[in-house]
Amino acid sequence: MKFNKSEVSMGGSYLEEGVHIISFDDIDRKTTKTGKEMWVLTLKDAKGATTRKNILDNDYKFDNGKTAFETELERMLYSISDAGFEIPDVDFTFDNIDQFLKSKPYKAFIRVRPQKNDPQYTEAIFISKDQFDKDIEKQANDAYRDWE
């Protein structure tokens, strides 16, 4: 094999830390090493940069009585709704998320930040439009202050 640097693909670009408007590029059902089911969502911005979001089907409950899955699903649907899409009146379950997400080219708001337990990796968190707008304004103000 002859090496030609211009023909080598080093993979796609990844979403940087900050807030983004994304679409759902791919939805994949997988099983974790411990046997739990999960959805792996590939989220993509308008420039093609991506990140992944895992949504586990687990029974862990928060203080409000909702499972981690229900809480993550609510945050995702809230964000999609804030992006201007109507959420159908259906009973969302782990088994029908993909049907919903594949039915339209939905958009949502996310914040990418370093993971708390391992800062070398990032995590995507669904956020509201208000949170998105506040973060954008803060980024602009910080950039202006840094420039002065």
pLDDT of residue 74: 93
Give the tens place of pLDDT for each residue, 88-113: 999 988 889 899 999 899 999 999 98
CB-based contact 17:123 (threshold 8 Å): no
Give the tens place of pLDDT for each residue, 53-100: 999 888 888 888 998 889 999 999 999 999 999 999 999 888 898 999
The pTM of the full predicted model, rounded to 2 decimals, is: 0.82
